[in-house]
């Protein structure tokens, strides 16, 4: 949450309007933030999920919260995984990670996102399709430089059901079988550091890689408050502030 608040503050400085953090499953809850803003005199609200994919999941909570305020106009950001400024920011972090190798001419890159239960996707959630489209946008320039790119889904749940894959172990093993000894892992499905990066990738993933036969992995930095990422948030939010949207 600390990083999300810092992202909001950085965006507020760009836009010149109040920017507040709200969460679906933790404080401050979406319903409480919407209520506070509406009661303090806000007449127009932009709903901008920090997750670029499946934005309607978050917008639905905002819609429910806004029902008690019929005069509040809410404008909803579309899925924004293909925003060019976001793609540029993600490529930037991958390039930085590749630069840590003395000879990075063909080091493979693994682009990851949080896995979801497959039944969620089968029910119509666009998450996988939208993430793979974003990953393809990031991969284009990387592959043009000679780096193989793979997609993996990490941090699967432990309920024993069928989850989106391939997982990291599968991808690492395939890279090792192909003669690779190292890789860059870029968690492009996350926009801030938290347990899925700081533990799952920084602590657990090197152990998984070693078991699979890879000697070295490097993780690309998360977006956090990177200037290029705030550029992307501004590119999505500003048009919604300046032109009418749907309530």
Close Cβ partners of 200 (under 8 Å, ≥ 6 residues apart): 154, 155
Q: What pLDDT, on a 0 to 100 scale, did the predictor assign at position 32?
A: 96
In CATH terms, are 2-79+226-242 and 84-219 the same topology? Answer: yes
Asked if residues 1 and 26 have their Cβ atoms less than 8 Å apart, the reply is: yes
Query: From first to last of its 247 residues, what are the pLDDT tens digits of the chain?
Result: 899 999 999 999 999 999 999 999 889 999 999 999 999 999 999 999 999 999 999 999 999 999 999 999 999 999 999 999 999 999 999 999 999 998 878 999 999 999 999 999 999 999 999 999 999 999 999 999 999 999 999 999 877 689 999 999 999 999 999 999 999 999 999 999 999 999 999 999 999 999 999 999 999 999 999 999 999 999 999 999 986 544 4
Polymer length in residues for the chain: 247
Give the CATH architecture of domain 2-79+226-242.
Answer: 3-Layer(aba) Sandwich (3.40)
The CATH number given to 84-219 is: 3.40.50.1400
Boundaries of every domain in the chain: 2-79+226-242, 84-219
Q: How far apart, in whole angstroms, are the C-alpha atoms of residue 43 and residue 23?
A: 21
Long-range contacts of 229-232 (CB under 8 A, 24+ apart): 229/7, 229/86, 229/89, 229/191, 230/7, 230/10, 230/11, 230/14, 231/85, 231/89, 232/80, 232/83, 232/85, 232/86, 232/88, 232/89
Token pair for 66: 């806004």
Alpha carbons 200 and 241: distance in angstroms, whole number: 37
The predicted model scores a pTM of: 0.94
User: In this structure, are residues 187 and 147 in contact, taking their beta carbons and an 8 Å threshold?
Assistant: no
Q: Give the pLDDT confidence score for residue 131 in this predicted structure.
A: 98
Q: N- to C-terminal Cα distance for the chain?
A: 28
């Amino acid at each position: 949450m600390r990083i999300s608040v810092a992202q909001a503050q950085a965006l507020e400085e760009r836009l010149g309007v109040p920017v507040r953090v709200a969460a679906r499953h933790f404080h401050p809850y979406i319903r409480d933030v919407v209520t506070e803003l509406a009661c303090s005199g806000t007449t127009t609200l932009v709903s901008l999920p920090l997750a670029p994919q499946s934005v309607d999941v978050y917008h639905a909570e905002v819609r429910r919260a806004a029902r008690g305020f019929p005069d509040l106009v809410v404008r909803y950001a579309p899925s924004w995984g293909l925003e060019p400024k976001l793609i540029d920011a993600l490529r930037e972090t991958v390039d930085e990670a590749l630069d840590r190798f003395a000879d990075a001419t063909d080091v493979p890159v693994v682009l990851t996102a949080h896995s979801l239960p497959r039944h969620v996707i089968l029910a119509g959630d666009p998450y996988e399709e939208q993430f793979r489209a974003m990953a393809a946008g990031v991969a284009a320039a990387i592959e043009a430089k000679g780096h193989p790119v793979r997609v993996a889904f990490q941090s699967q749940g432990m309920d024993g059901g069928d989850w989106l894959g391939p997982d990291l172990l599968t991808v690492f093993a395939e890279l090792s079988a192909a003669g690779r000894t190292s890789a860059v892992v870029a968690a492009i499905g996350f926009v801030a550091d938290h347990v899925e990066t700081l533990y799952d990738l920084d602590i657990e993933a090197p152990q998984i890689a070693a078991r699979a036969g890879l000697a070295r992995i490097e993780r690309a930095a998360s977006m956090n408050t990177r200037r290029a990422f705030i550029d992307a948030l501004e590119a999505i939010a500003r048009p919604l502030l300046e032109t009418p949207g749907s309530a």
